[in-house]
Amino acid sequence: MKIPLSYTIRNLWTRRLTMSLTLSGITLVVFVFAAVLMLSEGVTQTLVSTGSDDNVIIVRKSAQSELVSAIGRESVSNISTFPEVATGTDGKPVATADVITIINLSKNGTNDMANVPVRGVSPGATSMRPQVTVKEGRMFKQGSSEITVGNAVASQFAGVAIGKTIQIGSGFWTIVGVFDAGRSGFASEVWADADQLMLAFNRPVYSSLTVKLKSVNDFDAFKTRMESDQRLADLEPKREKAFYEEQSQGMAAFIKYLGLVITIIFSAGAMIGAMITMYAAVANRTVEIGTMRALGFRRRSILAAFLAEAMFLSLLGGGLGLLLASFLEFVSFSTTNFTSFTELAFGFHFTASIAIYTLIFSLFMGLVGGFLPAVRASRLNIINALRAS
């Protein structure tokens, strides 16, 4: 004979106090677990959204970031003329040769300094990056000492407002606008004219070259053409999205592993709490269990009923934890990206896969926490259980 599910739910309700305490612990653990996964996913999504499917970035081989890469003017000219590279209405290649450097800015309300990346771009940069739109003021003029700052930089750092000046290299640059780059990595950057930035730092080479392909499927042909040119042997092309995804791996992995260690410690406490709750349930319902056995309910039915009770409690805690974690979507902050050593603004990102993993994790806690008490309940001797009254 099988025990109906309503029996399990009714028994949980009769022990509201202990159930609430256990449920709170499970909810907290699930919240932390989901938050860790969301944070790791947020870092990845921020950098992946920085790239575009039909853009290719060229950097020096083995360069982990644009900051440590170098590409000469001659190489930029050669690559830009490849037949796979798209051309604009003016007949010029749709490409941008960028220069990356770092400046220090003070965070709002603190004396803390942070590394902020400054990206020197060519005239074609904005047309290649549709996620970047002017929010306030205007975009800087080519050939001038003007800069436009990302929305994350404008909101998190002091003295970064339209009309203000900041020192970059040997000179002072005027802020003329703020651009909105959504949650992409560009939001954490300052943009300027590439050639003027090279002059400010007396730098003879660019950091990277990004070109727009005529078709997304042209990447293999483009890569083959580069590899066959001995003048470009020290350079490597990558799809822009893949390149920025690589930038996120170190930081995302650190957040995930550190968070999972903390979660495992918390989950041990939650599973012990669930186990204590279920053992108490077995002790309080000894006569009831004996009566069910006398009525013909089998041991496996008793086992299944108590196990279902623990897993239902964990699933309920998992749902509440996920609900609370979903509100973290509205939270964003910044920290140092380990790959580029620059400040990166990002937020929590909730996905369906995170919800599935979290619910599986909560069910696992219920299974582990409820298994031993369920086994104890199923093994109670009928006569001894009835005598307990």
Co-location of 261 and 226 in the same domain: no
Q: Is residue 240 part of a domain?
A: no
Q: Are residues 201 and 264 in the same domain?
A: no
In a domain, 87, yes or no: yes
Q: Considering the domain boundaries, does residue 56 fall inside one?
A: no
Looking at the fold, whether 162 and 93 belong to one and the same domain comes out as yes
Domain hosting 31: range is: 5-48+247-387
Q: Note whether 111 and 254 are same-domain residues.
A: no
Which region among 83-97, 157-171, 201-215, 299-313 has the lowest average model confidence (pLDDT)?
299-313
Q: Are 132 and 251 in the same domain?
A: no
Pair 221, 80 in one domain = yes
d(CA 28, CA 93): 54
- pTM comes to 0.75
pLDDT average, residue stretch 138-157: 91
pLDDT on residue 10:
64
Instruction: Name the residue among 104, 82, 108 with its Cα closest to residue 93.
Output: 82
Q: Give dist(CA 51, CA 337) in Å, integer.
A: 17
Domain end among 199, 233, 267: 233
**Does 320 share its domain with 198?**
no
DSSP 6: H
Tokens of 44: 């990845």
Note whether residue 106 is domain-resident: yes
pLDDT at 389 over 60: no
Among the residue ranges 58-62, 190-194, 266-270, the one predicted with the least confidence is 266-270
Same domain (yes/no): 99, 37: no
- What is the total count of domains within the chain? 2
Half-sphere exposure of 320 (CA within 13 A, CB side): 15
